[in-house]
Each structure stands twice: as structure tokens, then as C-alpha cells.
Amino acid sequence: MSGQKVTGRTGRRRGLIPAVVVVLYVLVALCAPLISPFDPNHADLVARLSGPFTTVHGHFHLLGTDALGRDVLSRAFYGSRVSIAVAAATVVVSGAFGVLVGVLAGWYRGWVGVVVMRVADIALSVPFFLLAILVVAVLGPSLANVVICLALVRWPRYTRIAYASVLETRERGFVRGAVAVGAPGRWIVTRHVLPEVLPLAVVVATLELGLMVVFEASLSFIGLGVQPPTASWGSMLSDGQNYVASAWWLVTFPGLALFGLVLAVNLLGDTVRDRLDPTRSVSRKPFRRRGPGRGGRAPGWLRPGGTTGPTAPTSTAPTSTAPIPTAPSGTSQEA
């Protein structure tokens, strides 16, 4: 019993800690204008490249300043808004579109399913950065175009999962019964099929959040994402790469912020997957062999020192009782 209690507490704590970290990141992003000590775009050339815990002109810079004298802490706070907003918007857009297309393809099947799945395969085969360059070249770099670019890359994953789930769900008895009694297809999909697809889509969405944060930072790093002077973790890393040797804080603190958010989101995604999709989770309960004994307890013949239960058969072969011949005492003395 104690082992089960410890396991339950560990499982709850495993999901609680990353959830708290993600909530803190979201609160920082929402309250960035209130908690930022300086304007993230305000430049002070006199205070340029000031190290952490430095006071210049009576202004204390906790994490230092960049090459233009802008406060690193304030820019990191505002950069979290960009990363979280882009990741959340991308997951919502790509998830909604991918699930809708996958459900339609799985329900109607035939040429509709074939066309949709072939288009999804083509979309997955296109290199991400090549598509990003094409989108930016046509539409121009902006926050909305970053969301469009990421959604165009990630929707096929939701489509594949929804398509496979619909094909499996429509063969179940309750769906066949609804079709047999003449229920409308729209009613069947919304009442019976979508409830089976949405938990899987939520699992994929939570696992995709961290990847979208990394993709947004990558686009901003190479200049295809959010444009200056808007603060972004990727653009902060790009600006600080030329000062790594002399101003290590320019890349260290944005990198740690990015690493912490991605790690927390991935751990939270694993927890959500274990809760909503138990078939793919790994049980963390200790293995216990059960037998025909009392429920929840191993039978006596499996317990150390147990005496109840089936016993091993004993040998019934007769033992020899013939006397062992001994040599006469005289012969023994002559020898």
C-alpha cells in the first residue's frame, strides 16, 4: 500500500511541477508591461554591454544590457510574449485545420481520403526552412506570416492521427448502429466520432507546443521571423552571437529562458499523454504477479515461506532397507 501511495504522489508531482512552470511563463508574458523595469526598445549607448547586476545612471540592470544599451531582462520578458503567442496560435490553427480535414477524409474515405492523405504526405516532405523562405518572400516577414508558415508545416500530423482514429471508430458497434437506424452523418461525427479524436489531438497539441517555440526562435534567429526592434528570444540570440566572448549574458539568459519553457512544455505534454492516451504510456506501478489467491495479494505458494496453495509432489519410490554386508572380524584382522 505504501508503494502505491508513493507512486501516486510521484505521478501527481511529476505533472504539477511543469504545469506550474508553464503557468509562470504565461503570467510573465501577460504581465510583461507591468513587471518590466524598462522599455524593451529604449537604447542607452552609455550603458551598452553592461554586465549583470550593474547600475548605470542610477538604473539597475539585473541581467545587464545589450550592444545598444537595452535592458536584457525587459527584452526577455517581452520575448516570452512572442514565443508563447506564436506557439499557441500555431497549435490552434494547425490543430483545428488538421483535425477537420482528417475527420472528413476518414469518414468519407474513397477518393477524398486518398487525395487528403497524399497532400499531407507532400506537405510533410517539404523542408521547413525552404517553405519559410518562400512564405516570407511572398508575404513578407511578420508575426502572422510566421504562424501561417508553421501551420502549413504541422497540420499533416493532426490529419494523420484524426484519419486513423476515424477509420477505427467508424467500425465500432455504436457507430454502425447509428448508421443502421438512419442517423445523419453530421450528427454521428459530432456526437460519436469527434469525442474519440479530440483526446488524441490534445495530446499531440501539448507535445507540439515546445517544438513550435523552437521553430519560432529559429525563424527569428535567421531573420525570417519577428523583425527588429520587436523583442524575441531568437532575435536576442542572433544579436548576441557576436559578443559571446565579451558579453556572455546576451546569449545565456535568453537561451535559459527558451530552454526552461521548452522543457516544461515537453514534460507537461508527457503527463497529458499519460492521462488521455494510457495505451501509449508506460506504467510506473511496481510489477506484481497475481495468482488464484486473494484479490490484490499473491497466493501462498508464491509468497516467501508460504504454506498454503498447491504443494510440489513428493517422490513415492520405495527406499532400500537391505542390510549392508560387513566383513567378518577375523578376515579383517588377517587383511
What CATH number is given to the structural domain containing 157?
1.10.3720.10
* Confidence label for 49 from pLDDT (cuts 50, 70 and 90): confident
pLDDT at res. 11: 55
Amino acid identity at 23? V
Q: What is the SS3 string spanning 51-103?
A: CCCEEECCEEECCCECCCCCEHHHHHHHHHHHHHHHHHHHHHHHHHHHHHHHH
What are the pLDDT digits (tens) for 240-253? 988 888 889 999 99
Please state the rounded mean pLDDT for residues 210-217: 91
Largest pairwise CA distance in the chain? 123
For cell 492521427, the residue is 161
The predicted model gives 141-157 an average pLDDT of 87
Domain tally, the chain: 1
CA distance 120 to 114: 10
In a domain, 326, yes or no: no
Residue 2 has pLDDT above 60, yes or no: no
Query: Can you give the pLDDT at residue 251?
Result: 92
Give the closest residue to 166 by CA, choosing from 190, 196, 191. 196
Instruction: Please report the pLDDT score of residue 6 as a whole number.
Output: 39
Asked if the model's pLDDT at residue 297 lies above 60, the reply is no
Is 296 a member of any domain? no
pLDDT of 13 > 80? The answer is no
Enclosing domain of residue 181: 79-280
52 lies in a domain? Answer: no
Of 10-14, 133-137, 303-307, the poorest mean pLDDT is in 303-307
Mean pLDDT of all residues in 227-238: 89
**Grid cell in block for residue 14:** 511529476
Across the chain, mean pLDDT equals 80
User: Does the pLDDT of residue 189 top 90, yes or no?
Assistant: no
Question: Is residue 318 in a domain?
Answer: no
Does residue 108 register a pLDDT over 50? yes
